[in-house]
């Protein structure tokens, strides 16, 4: 089937799709926003939480999944942001975790904001979580769902990686 990238129209997702295709991979790109057409890319324009046979099939039959989709914006203060963060960062991750077979390698991205802000040094994976604000809390909740999947013992490689916050 190839490699699935959720959030494929985002900044990191678009670069990952380009790198994977440059390396000769077949990619299934899933995003709510359409992307520019590219060779070796099957695009699915869909919301991860909608019932969609193409999304379900892609997640269940892929060789690997990179789950990058989510609600960005550490500083977003729109009235509905708490709902969007929970929906797009937690519930969408739950959907991906449930759909991807345990034997399939799965990479889920998080954020360095889970550590609570600037330290006197760069963040380390072993640092204590100190989420401040709704964005960071939603990312911690998604990480906990990944940890629960890994704790089953039957999960294939499931990795959650934290991204550093951009300066913007």
Domain of 98, CATH number, reads 3.40.50.720
- pLDDT band at residue 5 using 50, 70 and 90 as cut-offs: very high
Is the pLDDT higher at 38 or at 141?
A: 141
Average pLDDT over residues 24-48: 94
Residue 168 lies in a domain: no
The fraction of the chain above a pLDDT of 90, given in percent, is 70
Residue 20 lies in a domain: yes
Site of tokens 């969609």: 52
- Residue 27's CB: how many other CB atoms inside 10 A? 24
Q: Which domain holds residue 39?
A: 3-163
- 82 contacts 22 by C-beta, under 8 angstroms: no
Residue 109 lies in a domain: yes
The fraction of the chain above a pLDDT of 70, given in percent, is 90
How many independent structural domains does the chain possess?
A: 1
- 167 contacts 118 by C-beta, under 8 angstroms: no
CA distance 101 to 84: 26
Q: What is the pLDDT at residue 155?
A: 62
Q: What is the pLDDT at residue 152?
A: 84
Residue 35 lies in a domain: yes
Q: What is the pLDDT at residue 163?
A: 58
How much is the pTM?
0.88
CA distance 76 to 72: 8
- Cite the beta strand spans of 46-166 per DSSP E: 64-67, 106-111, 158-163
Q: What is the mean pLDDT of the chain?
A: 90
């Amino acid at each position: 089937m190839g490699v699935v990238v959720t959030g494929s129209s985002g900044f990191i997702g678009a670069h990952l799709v380009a790198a994977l295709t440059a390396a000769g991979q077949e990619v299934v790109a899933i995003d709510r926003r359409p992307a520019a057409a590219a060779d070796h890319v099957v695009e699915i324009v869909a919301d991860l939480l909608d019932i969609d046979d193409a999304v379900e099939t892609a997640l269940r039959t892929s060789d690997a999944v990179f789950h990058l989709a989510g609600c960005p914006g550490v500083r977003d203060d729109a009235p509905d942001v708490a709902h969007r963060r929970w929906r797009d960062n937690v519930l969408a991750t739950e959907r991906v975790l449930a759909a991807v077979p345990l034997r399939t390698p799965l990479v889920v991205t998080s954020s360095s904001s889970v550590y609570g802000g600037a330290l006197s040094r760069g963040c380390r994976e072993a640092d204590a979580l100190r989420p401040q604000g709704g964005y960071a809390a939603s990312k911690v909740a998604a990480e906990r769902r990944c940890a629960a999947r890994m704790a089953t013992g039957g999960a294939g490689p499931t990795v959650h990686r934290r991204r550093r916050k951009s300066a913007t």
